[in-house]
Chains A and B, each alone.
Chain A
């Protein structure tokens, strides 16, 4: 034993900061969620241009995931890591940089998303300068964390820390690879991937954001704070080790289940399904481990609202990790995909698992951090019950909304025609459930307000100066010692099972982390590279051409307004989909889509074959006032599109960025603005000739119409290859420029 003892204290100031940030951003994120929940049944609450559903929905998801859950993880990680490693964080400066940097990024997100700056990839919407800032802050966090790990005074690294390590490394990798893009301006960029590859990359990211931002960090918190609150060790440490390794091995492969029946190659989708189903086992192992930590302490649950929060959190973890594998089974997914079922699923996870684990942790931490009694235990209990009822109302309503709409989409009548051919019918049926969701969400927010009030009152009774207890512990010795508890024995087998090698590895946390990172990268590359480089996986279609400069400008508007939040562009190969929308989508169709815009939810109909379905004038009027065209439509109105002027000269740099990505733009590389002006003039003249408003030739609406009228046209052209130009259209008298623009 080393005689020398180090004296040190834990940095709780940073924990207090993150705790406040968690509660405040949580409230903001929930409120934005309530606003968009209200906008669905009451579309008049869309205040274009900044506060429409399409722009606020990403703000809600980003705020809840990265601001609320992110700050909650950091709160718990800074508290528990120091104590588990018996050391102060290596650098208080880096801790503070992490805190203020992260909050600055959140503010940047809250400003840029309503302003329409978006990469339009779910949970990765933030534009490239913010992405770089995230990477910098993350690296600072990682350096601080890993050096602290190296300076620890506890030989074994507790399993909660393993979960943090895996999360820190994987989030960094996911963030960097998914956000690779070519900038086309200070807040505009195009993903370097296109179509299928971009979709694959995005959902590899998207699913693992759920895994490594909302699951593994919170499991780390669970393995620390559940034993703390129950005052007994975790039920089975062996099970927690197994839980960790199984999740780490399996999660990274599961992403493709977000793309069942899309244009993704089938092998990838099946792989994703299999690994997702396998994930059920370790997840439930972890849930059981969490619940059984309360063995012999169940009587405490009735008295201690903190334990109540934890029990519901772990149960919600169990429910959503059962439901996840079920939804990833292709035949279930055929019904659930694009519906509210998925929204209900994520809210079981977010409200139940992340939310309640956070609240339990916050209430446990508050009296310890503020060194006083909790202001009101009754209010904690009230928060628990109000929020629990809120969750129930929310998820029951939205589960039934999902099932209802999914079943209505696929219903045929006795004559073999779609029973609900009008998409809006399937939306109207959901309205009562949307009202219930608003009630449920409101209850959850009431609970949050009670929580903030309670924490505030607790904080108000803090001592004039916080006591800073000094802890003494010996530093780790340089020399290697065998585990004192290890069984004696000789030979290779005994050496392996005594895990002396593991103790050696634990002495090299940096090496260990690098090895883990390499494993994650290699596994990801093996899953992703084939779709990028093996030709047979993305068959090309000769008639698919790049968007014309004006169409590209229209596509940028489509992205800016967040249309993809409600409209998919991916028709699945089912009869009920092809009947409703047209020929199913092919992988070769989106080879020039940087980024892909397949969407993940149909609050409105699919648009993959929208081109030529309606005349230009219909789109002009529909964008101006959707409810004059479809009485019950819940789409926001976009009257400003008829006033905003297209920045024709700005189109060139966007075309150049696309050309840099290998899109064969030909002539447009030199004269994109002129080509766009020409096409816009043609379309505007057609609109005017059919009785529409005058003078639209330089307005944004024309660009958007040109893009919408282009959607799905290339494939129709493929069936009539002999015709040089689709001059004769069987569909309505559309006044159109040549689809594909003048660039062919």
Chain B
């Protein structure tokens, strides 16, 4: 019996779907956290980072 026989019989395809769902959940969480109200000021501070070579925009 070869490894491929064992893997073939193990019915692994369900794990690809689980992985897909995990990725989708993580992605949705990122989208919600990014577009949640009230974070505009945080992002404004972050977006100024390239423009100032000397002063940290988000210290501490």
Contact = CB atoms under 8 A, between A and B. Distances in A.
Chain B interface main SS type: helix
A477 interface: yes
Given A249-B23, A523-B23, A536 B8 contact: yes
B47 A234 contact: yes
Contact of B15 (A2, A160, A485, A526): A526
Contact of A481 (B37, B39, B60): B60
A222 to B, nearest CB: 11
A231 B50 CA distance: 9
B42 A533 contact: no
Contacts of A233: 44, 47-48, 50-51
Nearest to A86: B56
User: Which 6 residue pairs of A and B lie closest in terms of their CB atoms, listed nearest first?
Assistant: A487-B38, A497-B36, A533-B7, A485-B41, A233-B47, A156-B58
Nearest to B27: A249
B39 A84 contact: no
A473 interface: yes
Interface residues on B, range: 35 or more
A533 B10 CA distance: 10
Interface in A474-492: 474, 476-477, 481, 483, 485-487
B8 A522 contact: no
A535 interface: yes
A168 to B, nearest CB: 20
A224 B41 contact: no
Given A156-B45, A477-B60, A502-B33, A534 B4 contact: yes
Contact of A485 (B2, B45, B55, B59): B45
A602 interface: no
A155 interface: yes
A166 B19 CA distance: 19
A509 to B, nearest CB: 14
Contact of B51 (A227, A485, A523): A227
Given A486-B39, A487-B39, A535-B8, A237 B44 contact: yes
Interface string B8-49: 100011011001000100110111111111110111111111
Contacts of B13: 530
A472 B51 CA distance: 16
Contacts of A238: 34-35, 39, 43
A660 interface: no
A155 B58 contact: yes
A245 interface: yes
B49 A158 contact: yes
Most chain A Cβ neighbours within 10 Å, of B31, B39, B47, B55: B47
Contact of A160 (B50, B54, B55): B50
A535 B4 contact: yes
A360 B30 CA distance: 32
A158 B46 contact: yes
Contacts of B5: 535
B37 to A, nearest CB: 7
